[in-house]
Amino acid sequence: MAGDARARPGPLFVLLAFAAALLMTSRAQQPPSPPTDVKVGLIINATSPVGKIVSTTIPMALQDFYATFPDSRARVQILQHDSGGETVAAAAAALQLMTTHGARAILGPQSSAESSFVADLATRAEVPVVSFSATSPSVSPARARFFVRAAQSDAAQAVAVAALATHFGWRRVVPIYQDDDFGAAFVPYLVDALTEARAEVPYRCALPAAATRDAVVAALHNAESEQTRVFVLHARSELARLVFDVAAEVGMVADGYAWVITAALTGLLSSIDAPRGVIGLAPYVPVTPRLRDVRKRWAHRYMRDHPEDDASHAEMRCYTVWAYDAAWAVAHAAERLSPGDLLSPPGLVGGEGGSTDIAGLGTSMSGDKFLRAINGTKFEGLGGMFELIDGEPAVPTFRVLNVIENGKERGVGFWTMQHGLRRNLGRGSYGSIGQLGPVIWPGESTVRPRGWVEPTRARKLRVAVPWRGYREIMHLDVDTVTNQTTAGGFVIEVFEAAVRLLPYALPFEYVKAESMPYDKLVEAVANGTYDAAVADITITANRSMQVDFTQHFLTTAIAMMVRLHDQRRSSNRSTWVFFKPLSFDLWLVSGAFFLFTGFVVWAIERRHNADFRGTRYNQAGTIFYFGFSTLVFAQKKELKSNLSSWSRSSKTTPSCCGARRRSAS
């Protein structure tokens, strides 16, 4: 009886169990705590093409994010301000968002000039600024710590433009750009890339953002007066539309011309009325089922938000992708903030002035952690894997586009940092490296523009030709009626053949050189009496000090012997020098053959030879031994050659450099 009483639970235990169950039930029935609002500012030019795209994209992106992650602890609340494209208005909006509305981050502003000003203010207040359209290298995370670029920097496409110039054989290119922070900051990168590709920039056509039609006409006429017919256009959509309109009017969008537009304009093809035959670069966005779904819903929503626009404007391009992924990056970063950061007071603390006092700005309590969360965000975005390196995306893959008509384009290839230009992407497309698809050029031409024409106003080079000489080598004839000078002979034919190979026009005229020694003729070229001389002139040391000679056109019988400097003498003294010819791949192949040879010998001999039997360890040792001995030992044969003898071939360079080496240095 006593044992039964101890086993029976007491009334206190029953009461505690009932209270615990009741507490758990009440907690289960309580609704979850609402998510914390995270205020984020959005500064755009609402009437511009990019502003219209972003005003539709950002809310849609956040709706998609919270539909995908319904249990989010934080909810981004967008506070939109219209700057009207004015830098001062954008700065005032940023101040109001940070001080009055308590914005923890800012999306935008739209232009590079606005972003540069706002980034300086936000860095002082320690509020992250995430830009989806500021592509100019003039503003970067290196200059403003709290600036984050979700778009692609224009500097990344400069090398791709130079690759196009090299591919099509263009040696002279004229950039036409908007003369502000957006356009002017891109030109040095473009010029450096073209110079590296051995292309010349003879003229830079800078246009103000508010350029009139007459100013554009005058600028294009100046550009046309140069020999080049290749133009790279980098401007905002409004100015680009005016440039193409004027170019079509003056006949500069015709056969023989080539126009290249940058990614800032390929993202707004329907807004700039790009003529047929223009080629351009656009960031490559892989087509996925998710992208197709977003593209369909976005086009419908854009036309609902902006019914006054043409349906061609509802084509989703790079600005849509950048804005969509920027919104997701901010939403992901808000989720990574701790509860304490989410509940910290919004706005700026420690300020000494009012809401418009720049000098007395305070700082955000959660800004630094929010910035680190944004920079550390990594997810699968619309444009591929979204990952920031030092506050910017990595160098992307560019599509090479050919404009057809009415804002439509077709792809003719790709550009990657690893392989340059190529026709297709993918592992099985290595044969397409260095190739592009067929291009339709301005004027409905399929013939590649050579990129230059004969100059309309240029002084001809005065090329001196000696009056007397062997006629087969050179001769000069003067027509007594027309007073026209003609030249002929082997030397003249070589000179004219070299001129024809130049990628630009070189107008010249032959001038009769009076009877003079060749030393005097060289002096006449050196002092400017003649621009050049064509003759069978012997190259001597004294003459080389006065003028530059071309490569000699006859085989020389003179050679010079110089001592060679051994660059690997110290390494050849090493005890292990015989290992140098053996690469890693060769070691792998040798090991594979050891095993294969031993296995074949074991498979054949084990039934008839007792040495190949026994335990597994003995058989494995026999396999390795016979494989190694068969391939390594001499097998009683005389050694004829040895791969290790290659190690005695030293890498040497002459102590006296030649003409090519001197020009390179």
pLDDT of residue 587: 83
Q: Which residue has the tokens 């849609």?
A: 60
Q: 575-590: per-residue pLDDT in tens?
A: 676 677 778 888 888 8
Residues 283 and 425 in one domain: yes
Q: Looking at the domain assignment, is residue 451 inside a domain? A: no
* CATH, residue 190: 3.40.50.2300
Q: Looking at the domain assignment, is residue 3 inside a domain? A: no
Residues 147 and 160 in one domain: no
What single-letter DSSP state applies at residue 354? -
Give the confidence band of 188 by pLDDT, cuts at 50, 70, 90: very high
Distance CA 553, CA 537 (A): 11
Residue 61 zone, left/alpha/beta (φ > 0; ψ -120 to 50; rest): alpha
Q: 369-410: per-residue pLDDT in tens?
A: 999 999 999 999 998 899 999 999 988 899 999 998 777 899
Statement: residue 321 has pLDDT above 80:
yes
Give the confidence band of 362 by pLDDT, cuts at 50, 70, 90: confident
Residues 95 and 162 in one domain: no
Contacts of 39 (CB under 8 A, 6+ apart): 77, 79, 101, 102, 103, 104, 346
Statement: residue 648 has pLDDT above 70:
no
Query: Which phi and psi angles does 257 have, rounded to 5°?
Result: -100, 155
Statement: residue 553 has pLDDT above 90:
no
Q: 459-497: per-residue pLDDT in tens?
A: 788 998 887 777 888 888 877 777 778 888 888 888 888
Look at the chain and report how many structural domains it folds into: 4
Statement: residue 295 has pLDDT above 50:
yes
Residue scoring higher pLDDT (266 or 357):
266
Final residue in a domain of this structure, among 512, 544, 576? 544
Tokens of 192: 């450096």
Residues 618 and 534 in one domain: no
Residues 580 and 657 in one domain: yes
Statement: residue 4 has pLDDT above 50:
no
Average pLDDT over every residue of 607-611? 74
Statement: residue 561 has pLDDT above 70:
no
| The residue type at 386 | F
Contacts of 325 (CB under 8 A, 6+ apart): 61, 150, 381, 382, 383, 386
Q: Which residue has the tokens 């992407």?
A: 425
Q: Looking at the domain assignment, is residue 474 inside a domain? A: yes
Residues 572 and 606 in one domain: yes
Statement: residue 663 has pLDDT above 70:
no
The secondary structure of the chain in percent helix, strand, coil, rounded to multiples of 5, reads 40, 20, 40
Distance CA 625, CA 605 (A): 14
Average pLDDT over every residue of 187-195? 95
SS3 191: helix
Q: Looking at the domain assignment, is residue 415 inside a domain? A: yes
Q: Looking at the domain assignment, is residue 611 inside a domain? A: yes
Average pLDDT over every residue of 46-67? 95
CA angle 427, 155, 197 (to 5 degrees): 70
Residues 571 and 656 in one domain: yes
pLDDT of residue 578: 67
pLDDT of residue 357: 62
Residues 205 and 91 in one domain: no
pLDDT of residue 377: 95
Statement: residue 2 has pLDDT above 80:
no
Residues 422 and 276 in one domain: yes
Extended strands (E) in 150-202: 174-178
Q: Looking at the domain assignment, is residue 294 inside a domain? A: no
Distance CA 227, CA 225 (A): 7
Lowest average pLDDT, out of 90-99, 225-234, 425-434, 655-664, goes to 655-664
Tokens of 210: 């508010």
Q: 93-147: per-residue pLDDT in tens?
A: 999 999 889 899 999 898 988 999 999 999 999 999 999 999 999 999 999 999 9
Dihedral sign computed on CA atoms, order 366, 368, 374, 376: negative
Residues 282 and 403 in one domain: yes
Lowest average pLDDT, out of 311-315, 546-550, 636-640, 654-658, goes to 636-640
Most confident of 332-336, 586-590, 619-623: 332-336
Residues 241 and 368 in one domain: no
pLDDT of residue 641: 46
Statement: residue 344 has pLDDT above 70:
yes
Tokens of 116: 């540069």
Distance CA 165, CA 175 (A): 12
Residues 327 and 193 in one domain: no
CB 512, CB 462: distance < 8 Å: no
Q: Which domain holds residue 539?
A: 461-544
Statement: residue 150 has pLDDT above 90:
yes
Give the confidence band of 647 by pLDDT, cuts at 50, 70, 90: very low
Beta strand 398-403 with 279-283 is: antiparallel
Residue scoring higher pLDDT (633 or 508):
508
For a pLDDT cut of 90, what percent of the chain falls above it? 46
Strand partners, 282: 399
Final residue in a domain of this structure, among 492, 512, 544? 544
* CATH, residue 486: 3.40.190.10
Distance CA 435, CA 654 (A): 38
Residue among 509, 501, 507 at smallest CA distance from 476: 509
pTM: 0.71
Distance CA 173, CA 193 (A): 12
Q: Looking at the domain assignment, is residue 53 inside a domain? A: yes
For a pLDDT cut of 70, what percent of the chain falls above it? 82
> What is the residue-averaged pLDDT of the chain?
83
Beta strand 409-416 with 384-389 is: unpaired
Give the confidence band of 166 by pLDDT, cuts at 50, 70, 90: very high
Q: Looking at the domain assignment, is residue 344 inside a domain? A: yes
pLDDT of residue 639: 44
SS3 104: coil
Give the confidence band of 644 by pLDDT, cuts at 50, 70, 90: very low
What single-letter DSSP state applies at residue 615? S
